[in-house]
Structure 1
Amino acid sequence: MTIYFLGGGNMARAIIAGLRAQSPDDAIFVANRSAEKNARLQQDFHVATDFRLPETLSPQDVLILAVKPQDMKAALQNVRHGGALILSLAAGLAVDTLANWLGTHRIVRVMPNTPCAVGLGVSGLFAAEGMSASDCAIAEKIMAACGVTIWLNDEKMMNAITAISGSGSAYVFYLMNALQKAAAGLGFADETARTLALNTFRGAVALAEQSGEDFFILQQQVTSKGGTTFAALTKFEECGVADGLTEGVHAAATRSAELAQILKD
C-alpha cells in the first residue's frame, strides 16, 4: 500500500509519525508547498516529497487530504485521484462536498488529534454511503497505527468528536499549564513545576485506565471531606470550572457546525 499526503502540516506529520512507528518501510509521499517542512519530513521520517501528485495515484493507493479546509477546494483543482481511497482530515468538509469536488464517493472522513504523533491519538471516522468493508478496513488500519479509532454512524457526530477529542488535547494542555503555573506560584522552580504537572496527569490517566473505575469514583477516593483536596474541589465548583469546560466543549461543537455550513455555502 502506498500512502500519499496532500499537505504536510502538523496533523499530517503526527499521522506519518504514527505510521512510521508501526511500519518503517511503508511507501509514504507528501505533496506540500513548504520547502522547510518538506526537509524536516524527509529528515525525520524518510518520506518522499519530490513528486507530482496528479500523475501518480491508482485504485490501490490511499490519498490523505491534510490541507486546511478553507484551502481544500483550490488544492484539489488539479488533483486526479485515479480511483484511490480518499481519507480527509479537513474539519467541516462533508463527504458530499468532497465527492462533488473530486468526482468520487470513495471517501472516509477522519477527525484525528495531535497525540497521533506518539501513537496515543483518538480518531473519529465516518465512511461515505456504500463504502466497502475492505476500504473501511484500510482506513482503520492507517488510523489505528496512531491510536484509538471510533467509527461514527452519523456524519453530524463529526462536530461532536471534533469538540471532544479533536480539540480535547488542547483542553488538557490548558489544564496542565494552569497546574504548572499554580505550582510555580507556590514556590517551585519552573522545571520542577512542569515535572509535577506532567507526571500528575500521567499518573492519573494510568490509574484510571488500569482501575477501570468511573472517573467520579476515583475523584472521591482522593477526597476527604474537610481535607485539602476537598478545599480545592470546592473552589473549583465555586468558580464553575466543570460548567466552563462543558460550555467550552459545546462552543467548539457549535463552531464546528458553523464552519461546516460556511464551507458548504
Structure 2
Amino acid sequence: MKPILTLGIIGGNGWLGSALGRSVLSSGLISPNQLVVTASREHNRYQDWPGVICVESADALLEVAEVVVVSVRPEQFSLLTLSLENRLVISLMAKVPIVALAAATGSNRIVRAMPNAAASVGRSYTPWCAMPGLSAEDCAFVQRLFSACGVSDEVEDESQIDYLTALTGSGPAFPALLADALIQHAITQGISPTVAQRGVLQTLSGASQLMLDENASPADMVARFLDYGGTTTEGLNAMLQHGFRDAVQEGMKAAYGAVKC
C-alpha cells in the first residue's frame, strides 16, 4: 500500500475526532506532519505532537488532506460544503447514510464507521462499512486506521452500522449504568464510596478481560454461575426475575430507534 501523505479530520479537536487522531499518532500509523485537523489554535488537543497541522476551517483542511475523516454532528455536516471527488471519505457520524454522504461530497470512496469513547484509551470497538467497489487498498487502510484505537471489524451493510451505533457506539455508557447501580447499592450497605467504586470497576474490568482471555461467551459465564448454586446464583436469579434482560432489551430498542429517526 502506498503511503498516505495527509490524513484530515474535520472535527479533529472534538472528543471522538481527537481520540482517533491521537491514537493513530501514538501507533505510528502516520507522523504528526501527515495529520491536519480543524481546531482552534488556542484550544487544541495535540500539544504532545507539535507537528500536527491545525487549521480553523474545513476549506483549509481540504487544501492538503488526501483522506478525509468527518467527525462532526449530523446537523453540522449539513452546513458544510465539501468537494471530495476522488478522495477517501470516512464518516464517524450517526444517521447520515452513504448515499447522502456521496451526494454531499461527490466521492465514490466512502466508509461509515462508529468508534466509541474508549478510543481515547485505545480500547474502542469500531465497526465499519464500505460502499460497494471500494478498493482493497482503501479497505486495508481503514482497518489499520481503526485498529490503532482498539478492535475493528468490517460489517456487511449499513443497517448493521446503524444497529451497532446503538450497541457498541454507546461505549462505556451501558456498563456504567450497571456499575453505578452496583456502587449505589454497596454504599447503602455501609461500604465507602471509594471502596465501592474501586471494587465494582475492577470487577467489571476483570470480568471482561477474563471472558476475552478464555474466549468464553457471556451466556456461558452466566450459565456457569447459575449452575454453581452459590450466592452469585441467588443474585443472578433475582436480577433475571425482576426483568433485567427485558430492561436491557427495551433500552436497546429505544437507542436503535433513535439512530433510525
Q: In structure 2, what is the Cα distance between the partners aligned to 1:67 and 1:55?
A: 16
Q: Could you list the runs of 5+ residues in structure 2 that have no partner in the other structure?
A: none
Residue type at the aligned position of 1:54: D
Q: Deviations over 1:183-202 (max 9, x none)?
A: 22221211111110110011
The Cα shift of 1:146 comes to 0.9
Change (3 A) 1:123 1:228: same
- The count of corresponding residues between Structure 1 and Structure 2 is 253
Kept in 2, the 8 Å contact 1:176–1:198? The answer is yes
For residue 224 of structure 2, the aligned residue among 221, 239, 251 is 221
Question: Could you tell me which residue of structure 1 aligns to residue 9 of structure 2?
Answer: 5
Kept in 1, the 8 Å contact 2:22–2:46? The answer is no
Question: Could you tell me which residue of structure 2 aligns to residue 69 of structure 1?
Answer: 74
Question: Could you tell me which residue of structure 2 aligns to residue 238 of structure 1?
Answer: 241
Residue type at the aligned position of 1:230: T
Secondary structure, counterpart of 1:43 in structure 2: coil
More displaced, 138-147 or 51-60? 51-60
The Cα shift of 1:226 comes to 5.4
Kept in 2, the 8 Å contact 1:124–1:150? The answer is yes
The structure richer in helix per residue is 1
Q: Deviations over 1:48-102 (max 9, x none)?
A: 313654255479721110110111010x22x343632111001010111011111
Q: Could you list the runs of 5+ residues in structure 1 that have no partner in the other structure?
A: 259-265
Q: In structure 2, what is the Cα distance between the partners aligned to 1:224 and 1:84?
A: 55
Q: In structure 1, what is the Cα distance between the partners aligned to 2:219 and 2:160?
A: 25
Secondary structure, counterpart of 2:31 in structure 1: coil
Change (3 A) 1:229 1:148: same
Question: Could you tell me which residue of structure 2 aligns to residue 28 of structure 1?
Answer: 35
The Cα shift of 1:176 comes to 1.3
Secondary structure, counterpart of 1:42 in structure 2: coil
Pairing 1:107–2:107 present: no
Q: In structure 2, what is the Cα distance between the partners aligned to 1:225 and 1:56?
A: 59
Q: 1:185-204 residue pairs with structure 2 within 5 A?
A: 185-204=188-207
TM-score, normalization by structure 1 = 0.87
RMSD of aligned alpha carbons: 2.2
Residue type at the aligned position of 1:31: T
Residue type at the aligned position of 2:53: A
Pairing 1:139–2:142 present: yes
Q: In structure 2, what is the Cα distance between the partners aligned to 1:44 and 1:189?
A: 37
Change (3 A) 1:35 1:182: farther
The Cα shift of 1:121 comes to 0.7
The percentage of counterpart residues that share the same residue type is: 28
TM-score, normalization by structure 2 = 0.88
